[in-house]
């Protein structure tokens, strides 16, 4: 009973602390910073940062719990080599994201390369980026681990066609269905993290443009294309992570159908075989076209769509 009641309270506390401490604590000591932090647009952005931190923690906890439940089963626990590969992969993703953020950093005069009239901007932005990347770690590892589980399952169901070398077990269908549900869960968690980061970027742009509009002699070079590039970049990165998982799952589903209900000789076709194969094909959505069956993967375009919507956030 305490968990359902306590979770929203914890998330509200995180949102409040993120807004009050990380964004606003001693953030307006200079005259320029006080002018910036007093804007309505800055208040909107700081509130979104607090909400983002709360959501990041929530979805990271969901993804981490899904991984914990999977790894509780000895057969699914990764070895040391897998952990090393996951760690190296996370390091590579982190470097790629950091490089992209550096390339897409807005320029302004006279604050470049720290263009934000906000005391402590350097360490605050560094901490925000680090927290976002940490929240995404269990999501990315979850997708990679799902792909590894599919590869193991494919090796168990070796062969295809009418004479498979190894028949699938009774739990194969349930396992495959659970892997797809986990993949969609990790996809949703990752999209929440990324979309909130893109919304925050659009809100920050509005705040900087509002400050430049009311401050003589200040020009901020933060074009809308930067926000769209953020969304497009994260959509492409997530496509590289998730689309192989989705295609691998569909290929494994085809293999499971061929191994469970192989096509018999022409004279051995029966109504029972046709009903069984049709039911299995329908359950695994193999009777749909590839775009229809992989419709959940269209969610990877959400960051790009959100980046466009974030450009029309309200201003004062």
Can you list the alpha helix ranges (DSSP code H) found in 72-171? Answer: 80-103, 121-156
Q: Determine how many CB atoms are found less than 10 A away from the CB of residue 311.
A: 13
Query: Could you give the C-alpha distances from 314 to 69, 208, 307, in angstroms and in order?
Result: 42, 13, 14
Task: Please state, in angstroms and rounded to a whole number, the distance separating the CA atoms of residues 220 and 123.
Answer: 21
Q: Contacts from 91-97 at CB under 8 Å and sequence distance 24+?
A: 93/133, 93/136, 93/140, 93/237, 94/133, 96/237, 97/129, 97/133, 97/237
Res 112: pLDDT: 37
Res 111: pLDDT: 40
- 21: DSSP letter: I
Q: Which residues fall within 8 angstroms of residue 183, CB to CB, at 6 or more apart?
A: 143, 146, 242, 245, 246, 249
Q: What is the CA radius of gyration of the chain?
A: 24
Q: Pick from 95, 177, 160: which is nearest to 130 by CA?
A: 95
Q: How high is the mean pLDDT in each 10-residue block of the chain (316 residues)?
A: 58 72 75 81 87 89 91 86 90 79 56 60 81 90 90 73 51 86 88 86 85 78 78 79 84 85 76 85 78 63 71 63
Q: Which residues fall within 8 angstroms of residue 193, CB to CB, at 6 or more apart?
A: 55, 56, 59, 60, 132, 135, 136, 139
Res 2: pLDDT: 42
């Amino acid at each position: 009973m305490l968990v359902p009641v306590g979770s929203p309270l914890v998330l509200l506390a995180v949102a409040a602390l993120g807004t009050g401490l990380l964004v606003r604590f001693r953030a307006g000591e200079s005259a320029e910073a006080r002018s910036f932090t007093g804007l309505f647009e800055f208040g909107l952005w700081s509130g979104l940062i607090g909400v983002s931190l709360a959501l990041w923690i929530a979805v990271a906890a969901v993804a981490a719990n899904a991984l914990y439940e999977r790894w509780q089963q000895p057969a699914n626990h990764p070895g040391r080599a897998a952990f090393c590969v996951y760690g190296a992969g996370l390091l590579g993703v982190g470097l790629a994201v950091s490089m992209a953020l550096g390339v897409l950093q807005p320029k302004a005069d006279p604050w470049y390369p720290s263009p934000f009239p906000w005391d402590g901007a350097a360490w605050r932005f560094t901490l925000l980026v680090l927290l976002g990347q940490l929240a995404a770690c269990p999501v990315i590892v979850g997708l990679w681990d799902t792909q590894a589980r599919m590869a193991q399952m494919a090796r168990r169901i070796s062969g295809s066609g009418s004479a498979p070398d190894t028949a699938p077990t009774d739990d194969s269908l349930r396992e495959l269905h659970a892997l797809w549900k986990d993949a969609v869960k990790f996809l949703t968690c990752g999209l929440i993290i990324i979309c909130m980061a893109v919304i925050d970027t659009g809100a920050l742009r509005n705040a900087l443009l509002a400050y430049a509009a009311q401050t003589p002699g200040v020009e901020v070079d933060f074009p809308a294309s930067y926000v769209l590039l953020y969304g497009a970049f994260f959509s492409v990165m997530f496509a590289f992570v998730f689309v192989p998982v989705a295609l691998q799952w569909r290929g494994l589903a085809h293999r499971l159908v061929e191994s469970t209900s192989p096509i018999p000789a022409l004279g051995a076709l029966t109504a029972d075989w046709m009903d069984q194969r049709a039911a299995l094909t329908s359950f695994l959505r193999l009777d749909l076209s590839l775009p229809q069956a992989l419709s959940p993967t269209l969610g990877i375009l959400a960051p790009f769509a959100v980046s466009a919507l974030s450009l029309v956030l309200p201003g004062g």
